[in-house]
């Protein structure tokens, strides 16, 4: 049932089902909410499932800050087969010949991927080169040179190494496969930075092991502070919209930005922010959190209301002793 138009501002955590694009989910939410403004942070491939953050109303203005958060995934790496898309939707480009690696070799190689590395974005991705998304070039049969990008794997934990059922049956009449398995499935949890392509991570691991590999399944379990336990299904969302109760599952802009340091302003500075005026350092009455020069901070009124996102010119100790004329510039006015 399509909902009536309603004013909603906040972040909604959705558990995206397989087969839906992130845009499909946005369109569905928009229809259920009667045309409300809806955006998302962090695209998921259609075959992937899990956490998708929808920004409703004013929350669309903070999407760029939410997308910076670390993400946690549960993935299945299928070793022994490489594909042109680096996932299970693509055409097979190579199959391993000979024995597949044992658990010790898999552990050793995957452990090397923890830390800061560089990866080349996959051709089937939304990254734009000279204004054209790579997936459009890929569909046209063109391979485009693209620079490697830095990413960080904070942790990687192997949960299991198994032989998938489909590799146990081959040949005429479905005769059982004789000999060692032709593929291995490695299920693992990974916590990584913004911009990490888990598909490419799987392909790179397969290449490092010398047998090829691709992403067979993916579930995003967390973005920043929001996990699957916070998520609603699309059926849940439809039911909530039908009762005009979507607001009961919304997270406020302030809550969504809970990890961002806070500066409380005096009344004069708070009024100035509402008119787009930068904040003199001397008019900050309280500071919470730690940050480096150039970081983004929440700017709030004396009563705790979120007013804007600002950018600080220095760390907290320097800001307390800042020279006259030092200001916190405004990135986004939200009040």
- Output the pLDDT for position 166: 46
In a domain, 17, yes or no: yes
**271 is known as an active-site residue:** no
What is the spatial distance between Cα 194 and Cα 57, in angstroms, rounded to a whole number?
24
Rounded mean pLDDT of 89-93? 92
In a domain, 166, yes or no: yes
Q: Is the confidence at residue 4, as pLDDT, over 70?
A: no
Other Cβ atoms within 10 Å of 262 Cβ, number: 17
CATH of the domain at 19: 3.30.2350.10
Asked if 110 and 212 sit in the same domain, the reply is yes
What is the spatial distance between Cα 257 and Cα 263, in angstroms, rounded to a whole number?
13
In a domain, 240, yes or no: yes
Share of the chain above pLDDT 70, in %: 90
Rounded mean pLDDT of 13-34? 95
Asked if 208 and 85 sit in the same domain, the reply is yes
What is the spatial distance between Cα 62 and Cα 68, in angstroms, rounded to a whole number?
11
End-to-end CA distance of the chain: 32
Asked if 250 and 138 sit in the same domain, the reply is no
Torsion, Cα 164 168 169 171, to 10 degrees, reads 120
Asked if 80 and 165 sit in the same domain, the reply is yes
Calculate ∠ Cα 244-249-254, nearest 5°: 120
Express each pLDDT in 189-240 by its tens digit: 999 999 899 999 999 999 999 999 999 999 999 999 999 999 999 999 999 9
What is the spatial distance between Cα 50 and Cα 233, in angstroms, rounded to a whole number?
10
Asked if 58 and 159 sit in the same domain, the reply is no
Express each pLDDT in 139-189 by its tens digit: 777 787 778 889 999 999 999 999 876 444 333 334 444 456 789 999 999
- Output the pLDDT for position 134: 63
Q: Catalytic: which of 9, 45, 185, 204?
A: 45
Average pLDDT of the chain to the nearest whole number: 89
Host H or E run for residue 158: strand 149-162
Give the DSSP letter string of 20-88.
Answer: --HHHHHHHHHHHTTS--EEEES---TT-EEEEEEEEGGGGGGHHHHTTS-EEEEEEEEETEEETTSBT
User: Which range of residues forms the domain containing residue 312?
Assistant: 261-333
Rounded mean pLDDT of 53-76? 94
In a domain, 142, yes or no: yes
pLDDT tier, 37 (very low <50, low <70, confident <90, very high otherwise): very high
- Output the pLDDT for position 180: 60
Asked if 76 and 123 sit in the same domain, the reply is yes
Asked if 189 and 159 sit in the same domain, the reply is yes
* Cβ(260)–Cβ(298) below 8 Å: yes
Lowest pLDDT segment from 60-64, 126-130, 293-297: 126-130
How do 49-56 and 213-223 pair as beta strands? parallel
pTM above threshold 0.85? yes
Asked if 242 and 111 sit in the same domain, the reply is no
In a domain, 96, yes or no: yes
Asked if 76 and 48 sit in the same domain, the reply is no
Asked if 195 and 285 sit in the same domain, the reply is no
Other Cβ atoms within 10 Å of 210 Cβ, number: 13
Residue after which a domain boundary falls, among 234, 254, 274: 254
- Output the pLDDT for position 122: 74
- Output the pLDDT for position 326: 95
Host H or E run for residue 255: helix 253-256
Sequence-ordered list of residues with C-beta below 8 angstroms from that of 158, at least 6 positions apart, any chain = 106, 107, 110, 186, 187, 188
Asked if 64 and 127 sit in the same domain, the reply is no
Nearest of 333, 322, 318 to residue 269 by alpha carbon: 333
Nearest of 194, 211, 92, 193 to residue 202 by alpha carbon: 211
Express each pLDDT in 239-284 by its tens digit: 999 999 999 999 999 999 998 999 999 999 999 999 999 999 999 9
Asked if 132 and 235 sit in the same domain, the reply is no
- Output the pLDDT for position 176: 45
Calculate ∠ Cα 55-24-153, nearest 5°: 65
In a domain, 5, yes or no: no
Q: Is the confidence at residue 137, as pLDDT, over 80?
A: no
Number of domains in the chain: 3
In a domain, 1, yes or no: no
């Amino acid at each position: 049932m399509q909902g009536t138009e309603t004013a909603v501002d906040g972040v909604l955590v959705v558990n995206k089902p397989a087969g839906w694009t992130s845009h499909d989910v946005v369109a569905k939410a928009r229809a259920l909410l009667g045309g409300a403004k809806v955006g998302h942070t962090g695209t998921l491939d259609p075959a992937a499932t899990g956490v998708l953050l929808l920004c409703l109303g004013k929350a669309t203005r903070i999407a760029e800050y939410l997308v910076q958060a670390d993400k946690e995934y549960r993935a299945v790496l299928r070793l022994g087969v490489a594909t042109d898309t680096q996932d299970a939707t693509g055409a097979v480009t190579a199959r391993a010949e000979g024995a597949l690696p044992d658990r010790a070799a898999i552990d050793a190689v995957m452990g090397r991927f923890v830390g800061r590395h560089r990866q080349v974005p996959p051709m089937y991705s939304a990254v734009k080169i000279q204004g054209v998304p790579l997936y459009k070039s890929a569909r046209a049969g063109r391979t485009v040179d693209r620079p490697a990008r830095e990413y960080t794997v904070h942790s990687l934990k192997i949960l299991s190494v198994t032989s998938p059922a489909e590799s146990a049956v081959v040949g005429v009449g479905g005769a059982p496969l004789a000999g060692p398995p032709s593929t291995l499935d490695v299920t693992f949890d990974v916590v990584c930075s913004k911009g990490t392509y888990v598909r490419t991570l799987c392909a790179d691991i397969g290449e490092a092991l010398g047998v090829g590999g691709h992403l067979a399944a993916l579930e995003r379990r967390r973005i920043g502070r929001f996990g699957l336990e916070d998520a609603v299904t699309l059926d849940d969302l439809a039911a909530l919209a039908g009762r005009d109760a979507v607001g009961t599952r919304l997270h406020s802009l302030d809550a969504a930005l809970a990890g961002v340091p806070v500066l409380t302003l005096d009344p004069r500075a708070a009024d100035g922010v509402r008119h787009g005026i930068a904040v003199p350092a001397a008019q900050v009455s309280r500071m919470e959190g730690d940050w480096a020069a150039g970081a983004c901070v929440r700017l709030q009124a004396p009563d705790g209301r979120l007013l804007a996102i600002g950018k600080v010119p220095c760390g907290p100790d320097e800001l307390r002793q800042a020279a006259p004329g030092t200001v916190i510039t405004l990135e986004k006015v939200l009040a």
